[in-house]
Amino acid sequence: MHLAEILNWRSVPAAGISMGLTRRCPLHCAHCSTQSSMTSEQHPELLFKRFVASFSHESRPAILAMSGGEALLRPALVSALAKSARRCGTTSSVLSGLFFARTHDGTKIPAPIRVAIDAVDHFSASLDAFHEAEVPWPNVRRVLRTLLDDGKDLSIHLVGRDADDPYLTTRIAAVRRHFGTHIPMLVNQVASFGRARAWTPMVMTKRPARVEAQPCTMAAWPVMGFDGRIVACGNDDAMDRMPGHLVLGHASTHTWAQIRERTLESSMMRAIRLYGPDYLAARAEMHPSGCAAGCRTCMAMSGDALVEERVRASIAISMQKQSTRVLEAAAGELIRQGGALAFARRNGVARYAELALLGAT
């Protein structure tokens, strides 16, 4: 499964689910969005297995995307979930910081981890200057070469300090030199989340005189956290703050079919995907800090009961109209037509978006 196939689905509501299997990680990256460590929380395997077991041929996500923390600290769980998902037609991926290549040259992958990598349909490696301080690039390169030679579908999630970080230019050139077009890359920049919040300033955008609708694709896939809580957003703050309007349920009490229905049918979720939070806030005459803040606006909607009530009231009637359903379908089709490239431009460093298509047929 190529990276482009995953990104093609990424903007489609309930087409996939992201699942954080653990918040533990042996690395100490200064930009870690989840502030993971080896003493962070980790919940029983049964929580994750039960939820994936609720997938069926009639109701299933197309993609199960696993991460952490460091998901490959639980290789047996990764393998079990990938196999369980595949039985009903769901493909799977796992994202790793390659911690296992820290202390050797990368030519030998530990057997349990190799079994887990073989079990998924796509393997992604996190790569940035912070990871490389602990897992050297030559070791990463050898791991990728081993997997590539064995026919594994791979990608690199590459992160720079900002869009102009020379590290990105240097590492992209090295990847292309060693692997040609065989490993696609999704390129992003450090955001003010987790540990990076202490040293990365929050980008403040002046609110325009007229706030236009801006569909939010981050509310497309449900996200299951390390403790089983499920939210409707891929923003790391959503899991930390758990704003009420984004909460979908819990893996211990809800099935995939129930989470899917809430994702697709909730008037609030539909409105956020169609109009975006800034537009909804403007309609409800609410806007925090006077800024067009996107995600921050969305997080603030549940910070005040009166504000959330006003937002819900402003969409209650409009989201029930047949004309709104028609508009949703048209907007969704336009987003789907943009595919992987549009997603990479919108949610990554735009100038490098086409790297996500390397090797795609």
Query: What is the rounded CA–CA span in Å between residue 257 and residue 278?
Result: 30
Could you confirm whether domain 3-203+338-357 is CATH 3.20.20.70? yes
Q: What is the pLDDT of residue 172?
A: 97
Per-domain boundaries in the chain: 3-203+338-357, 217-320
Please check whether residue 117 is in contact with residue 94, taking contact to mean a CB–CB distance below 8 angstroms.
yes
Helices (H), the chain: 3-10, 45-53, 75-86, 111-119, 129-132, 137-149, 166-179, 236-241, 256-265, 267-275, 277-283, 295-300, 305-316, 322-347
Give the residue carrying structure tokens 């099935």: 255
- What pLDDT score does 29 carry? 87
Question: What's residue 204's pLDDT?
Answer: 59
Tokens of 191: 């955001």
Which tokens hold the place of 340?
């992987």
- What pLDDT is stored for residue 157 in this prediction? 97
pLDDT digits (tens), the chain, 361 positions:
999 999 999 999 999 999 999 999 999 988 888 888 899 999 999 999 999 999 999 999 999 999 999 999 999 999 999 999 999 999 999 999 999 999 877 678 999 999 999 999 999 999 999 999 999 999 999 999 999 999 999 999 999 999 999 999 999 999 999 999 999 999 999 887 778 778 777 665 666 667 888 888 889 999 999 999 999 988 877 887 888 889 999 999 999 999 999 999 999 899 999 999 888 888 777 655 444 467 888 888 776 677 778 888 888 888 989 999 999 999 999 999 999 999 999 999 999 999 999 999 7
C-alpha to C-alpha distance for 234 and 17, rounded to whole angstroms: 10
pTM, whole model, 2 decimals? 0.92
